[in-house]
Structure formats: C-alpha cells, structure tokens
Chains A and B, each alone.
Chain A
C-alpha cells in the first residue's frame, strides 16, 4: 500500500503559485527525498499533508485516507518537523515536549528522555534561551517522541553541526528500520543522496522528475577525470561524452554509454592518474536548478 498518494494536488495562495498538479506516491518503508530550490513548493506540499493549508484542487491520501477529512486520525501517526521551529516562549524544553506528548494516545515519557539524551538536548532550559540549532533539536525530539509511522522532515538539517547531522541521520535510519516511512525535503542534494532511496525533484511548483537514486547513478553519466602530460582532450570526444574540459594537464568529462569504449580509449594513452566515479546528485540535477 502507498503510504502517501498525491493526485493532481494544486495550491494557489490567491494568485500566487504554491504547487501545480503534483502527483506521486510514497511506498511503505521508503525514505523519499523531495528536493528543489527555495520557493519551489516543498514546504507547501508538506503543509498540505498536515492540513495546515487546504488544497485549491486535487487530493492527498495518507495511509489510504484523505488527509483533510481524516486529518486528526492520520496525524496520530505522523511526526512533523517544520523548517522554522519556534515554540511557545517562556516554556521549558521538558514542558513543551510533555505538552506535545499529551496529544498522543501512548505514553511517550521514556522516548522523550531517550531522544533528548541522544541529541544532547538540555531539558531544563527555557526555549527562548536556546540557539537556533538547539531549537531544531527540540523540533526533532518533538517530531519523533510518539514513534510515528510517517515522518515529514522539512529542511531538517539546517542549523545542526556536522556531528549532530550525523546523529540525526542515524536516528532517522533507525526509525526507518523500525518501519517508519520518511518524507525528506531539502535543497541540499548531498543530504538527500546519503539518505534516500527515491527522490522527486520539484521546480516552480511542479514535479519535474521522480527517480530511484541507485539507478539514477548507475544508469546516468560517469564522471571521469584523466591526468596525463600533453594530452589532447579531443581524443575523448566520442558520442556520449559531455562537458569535455581540459584543466591543468587533466581532462574532465561526463560519459554515458558503453564503459568499455572509454576505458579502451584511456588505456591507449600514457596517463598518470584516472578516476571514474558516479556523479553526485548535484551534478546530475544541476540542470534542473538552472
């Protein structure tokens, strides 16, 4: 069963575009990446799922149920980490987490302490006094404390230092192993690449592509870097090669096609170094951003 089913979902804010005719499915147990530049409609999509805003047309089903009609019921099993976290001023971290827990049918006390321990969050401090990164941690614990079946993460890593990011990724992977489906929005492709099995690219409110990350990298261009004295880059100018450049005695290009053809070409030259690697998502998708 698809955990999220989106059919022709459209949202206009008055005349301003939110998202237009967005359709996709997210399957159970997936970590689904949702990437696109700022203002592409990532937050709009997630906020529609949480019925913070209502669609202009189309529908979204979560756990097979309409996300507006059955909103309260569905949200029992959803964890949401907003991109901007601000919480009731004057409240202490623990108070807020307990308030958050009071909305769910299960006892979350143990999980609050577990998660705060893991994220090194001081429960006794007032939220107003926290730095942006620490507020983000409150958001993370708040979104996970009820062991949700579905997680919406909207730009979850901004504000976290690399060490915390790593801890956070591990935490999400654990949640995923436990069975949680994760919907992960970000404009940082590297982050999505590390975590997700599939990824949708949204641009100016519309989905431009949905791809499996592994096939994407396997069946896509290879990034090739050849270092050799006095090499003429023209020898590599065969069908399937793009972005052929020579720089400081090294040749860089992307190649898509029979890999034997290119290795044969390389082996005919006297070279000092060669690297063949899968391009990063950035390199694959950079044209979506342009």
Chain B
C-alpha cells in the first residue's frame, strides 16, 4: 500500500495535465465542428476538396457530419491519440524510471517481493489512467449536452465508445511495460511512447489507405475505431479480442521478466 500511495502521488500532476488537455480538445474541436455543420453544404464542399487519401487516413470517409455523434467520432480519435501517448508513457516508465534515476537500488533493497512492487506500480498507473478515463466521460457528456441542447436520443454508441477506453489504455500500458522490460536500458521514455502511440495510429490509418488489412489488425486504433462503433453501436468483437489477448499476454510476461531482471547501475 505504501508503494501504491507513493506512486499514485507522483502521477497526480500528469493526470491533471492530460485530463485538462483532453477536455480542451473535446470542447474546442466539437464547438468548431458544430458551428460549421450548420452549413452542411460548405462542409461537404470542404470535405470533397481534400484528397481522398487524407480522408481515409483520418477515418473521415464514413463520417456522418450531420449529427453530433458523427462529429464526436472524429474528436474521439484525437482523444484516443492522447490516451495512447499517456498510457504508453506510464507503461514505458513504470519500471524504467527507477533504474534511470537510480532509485531501484533504494526500492528493491527493501523487504518487498518484486511482484508486490510491480503490482503496486501497475495499480497506481491504472488508477491514474482511470481518472483520466472518467474525465473523458465527464467532458464528453458535458460538451455534447451543451452543444446539442441535451444529450442525443441515441446514447448507446456514445457509451460503447467511452467504454472502449479501458481496454484501449490497458493495451498501451501493458505493451509499453513489456517492451521496457525487454530492453536492457530505457534511456528516454517520450520517444518510445510517441513511437508506439503514433506507430499504432499510422498502422491503422495507412492500413485503411493502402487497403492492406494485415498489419492494421494489431493496432488498437483499428480494434476500437470510433466510426465503426458509432455506426454499428457495437464492437468488432474479433478485433477487440486481439487487444484483450495482447493485454493478457503482456502483463504476466512483464511479471516474469521483472522478477528475473538484473537491475543495472547507471554507470
């Protein structure tokens, strides 16, 4: 419990920043879209003027911009990118931060099992991600309600979309953690988490563009594609299962690697 408390405290500032950023993204983009959507004609003209590849890349071809939920789908994609970076950050630094800042010699020489340490750290990261997740819920309902004069009659797609965040975050957290433990030394976290988050995004986006769907199936951006969920008010179950299985493999594998890990000194 002491490790959890210590870790959780260290996340608070970061959670605050991410939550506020995501709130602003939802507020600003949705306001802009809803103000231009009053003039559907101009909007369609604008969309038509974009190259088709671009529209595919941003998943905008099947977008229904005539409804607030349709627009929310695009905004949610931006949220997903933020959530992916945040969760990857936490995943990559979960264990590696101790080795980089030499605090591992402090923590691991204490009378605790490595498994306990990892559990406490993992739970602290999950708790922090969950707070961010809840902030996405609150921001989404707030902004949609505000712009739409009350929630749309059909809220199921919206709720399905928001429910997908948990697995989406867990994917990046678990995969980030596993990769960091496979590496001998993680010198800097940001480039890695950017690479993982944007890499997965690009796989999903360009997979759609090239019509090549072999690689995109490993990307959670594909597993939880907002347009699909909004249009069908359902998940693409086989794809979601890929995320679930990845998480279920990455977490036990991380425990195994961490329990056998040699903690290097900085020099």
Contacts and interface: CB of A to CB of B under 8 A. Distances in A.
Interface of A: 13, 43, 47, 50-54, 71-76, 78, 80, 82, 84-90, 99-100, 102-104, 142
Contacts of B113: 71-72
B109 A80 contact: yes
Contacts of A74: 111
Interface string B104-141: 11101111110000000000000000000000000000
A72 B112 contact: yes
Given A89-B101, A99-B6, A103-B2, A52 B109 contact: yes
A84 B101 CA distance: 10
Contacts of B10: 88, 90
Contacts of B108: 50-52
Contacts of B267: 84
Contacts of B2: 99, 102-103
Interface string B229-267: 000000000000000000000000000000010111111
26 contacts: A13-B262, A13-B264, A47-B105, A47-B265, A50-B109, A53-B262, A54-B260, A54-B262, A72-B111, A74-B111, A75-B109, A75-B111, A78-B109, A80-B105, A82-B109, A84-B105, A84-B266, A85-B102, A86-B102, A88-B6, A88-B10, A88-B101, A99-B2, A103-B111, A103-B112, A142-B106
A87 B109 CA distance: 13
Contact of A82 (B6, B106, B111): B106
A78 B106 CA distance: 12
A231 B252 CA distance: 79
Chain A contact surface mostly? loop
A11 B130 CA distance: 42
A73 B103 contact: no
Contacts of B111: 72-76, 103-104
Contacts of A82: 102, 105-106, 109
Nearest to A77: B111
Nearest to A90: B10
A50 B110 CA distance: 9
A72 B107 CA distance: 12
Nearest to B102: A86
Classify chain B: how many residues form its interface, as a range. 20 to 34
B110 to A, nearest CB: 4
Contacts of B112: 72, 75, 103
A82 B110 CA distance: 12
Interface in B1-42: 2, 6, 10
Interface in B143-200: none
A100 B106 contact: yes
Nearest to B263: A52
Contacts of A53: 262-263
Given A72-B111, A72-B113, A99-B2, A87 B106 contact: yes
Contacts of A86: 101-103
B99 to A, nearest CB: 10
Nearest to B98: A88
A84 B102 contact: yes
Contacts of B104: 52
A147 B187 CA distance: 36
A82 B264 CA distance: 13
Contacts of B6: 88, 99
B103 A47 contact: no
B111 to A, nearest CB: 4
A51 B262 CA distance: 9
A103 B5 CA distance: 13
A72 B112 CA distance: 5
Contacts of A100: 106, 110
Nearest to A73: B111
Contact of B103 (A50, A71, A87, A103): A87
A158 to B, nearest CB: 14
B106 A103 contact: no
A11 to B, nearest CB: 9
